[in-house]
Amino acid sequence: VHWCDSEFQDILSLWNLAITESISKNCLGWASRDTSSVLLSYKINRRDTGPDKVSLTITYCGICYADVAWANNIPRNTIYPGHEIVGIVKEVGSNVHRFKVGDHVGVGPYVNSCKTCEHCKIQEEVHCDVETTHTFYPNDEDGTITRGGYSSYIVVQEGYVFKIPDNYLLISVAPLLCAGISVYAPMMHHKMNEPGKSLGVIGLGNVIVKIMAWYFYSHLIWLIVSYVSLHSLARSLDFIIDTASRDHPYDPYMALLKPSGVFVLVGFPSEVKFNPMSLLAGTFFPLFSFSPKT
């Protein structure tokens, strides 16, 4: 094999770069490189702790449906999953004042947004008009692919890090950062915790069971019975939270809601199909009917 000087210099530069990167890769991460979902360990580079960033040692990271689904279905890139992250602050940037070294903290499914749109300004960054950066896979502000919590540490913008009280068990907090908040947020938004309200839940999960049982006691119904027996519950529920990610029919469940009841979807099925009458029949102004409200 004969190389000219320019080719040799290119190869030498690549070799030196590989050596430099190998030395600087001080973070251990677990990644999926194909649709087998098998996670293998790799050494990766984490960015420096900039002025407005927090670096935390990861102690625990939950396993969410999204972690498995993304690892299964994105064959063209290496995926470092994990977005229910808890750990201990090991370094803070010069402009960070909300956290200090040693604090217990958590990081959820998002690590950045534009910070200037109307939603970001009212702390609804998840609805960012420009782009919300997920904890793993999308491009971050510096153009790199984000890598998630199945790793030894992570560096995150201060605004996307959450303080965890010191007396909380970190291992118990991790699932709250996605699975827990996905249920808790709509509960609070729709005031589902008001006395006397009844709630139905489709699907089961340990976190959901605990949250629902805490708020609803005897007013909680698990909708895991046969469709035939659901008929006895018709128009009896104020709320339904659907956590199931498999495809399933919706009309039998929507018939269980009282008029103007609330159906919240937090699962991730491949499609949602229902008869429009399932919605219209439960509104204040159903078709072909008149009432004092009309």
How far is residue 273 from each of residues 186, 230, 254, 278, measured CA to CA in Å? 21, 19, 12, 11
Amino acid at 6: S
pTM of the model: 0.80
**pLDDT digits 0-9 by tens, 108-144:** 999 999 999 999 999 999 899 998 999 998 788 778 7
Model confidence band, residue 95 (pLDDT cutoffs 50, 70, 90) = very high
DSSP three-state, residue 252: helix
CA–CA gap between residue 247 and residue 250 (Å, rounded): 9
3-state secondary structure 85-102: EEEEEEEECCCCCCCCCC
How far is residue 211 from each of residues 89, 176, 184, 204, 217, measured CA to CA in Å? 28, 10, 7, 12, 10
Q: Which superfamily, per CATH, for 182-280?
A: NAD(P)-binding Rossmann-like Domain (3.40.50.720)
CA–CA gap between residue 232 and residue 219 (Å, rounded): 16
CATH classification of 26-174, choosing from 3.90.180.10, 3.50.50.60, 3.40.50.920, 3.40.30.10? Answer: 3.90.180.10
Closest CA to 243 of 264, 274, 215: 264
Name the average pLDDT for the chain.
Answer: 82
| Helix axes 179-189 and 206-216, enclosed angle (nearest 10) | 30
Domain ranges of the chain: 26-174, 182-280
CA-CA-CA-CA dihedral for 108, 112, 117, 122, to nearest 10: 30
Strand-strand pairing, 104-107 and 162-163: antiparallel
CA–CA gap between residue 136 and residue 206 (Å, rounded): 24
CA–CA gap between residue 231 and residue 34 (Å, rounded): 45
Of 156-165, 180-189, 207-216, 268-277, where does mean pLDDT reach its minimum?
207-216
Beta bridge partners of 11: none
DSSP three-state, residue 163: strand
**pLDDT digits 0-9 by tens, 141-160:** 778 789 999 999 999 999 99
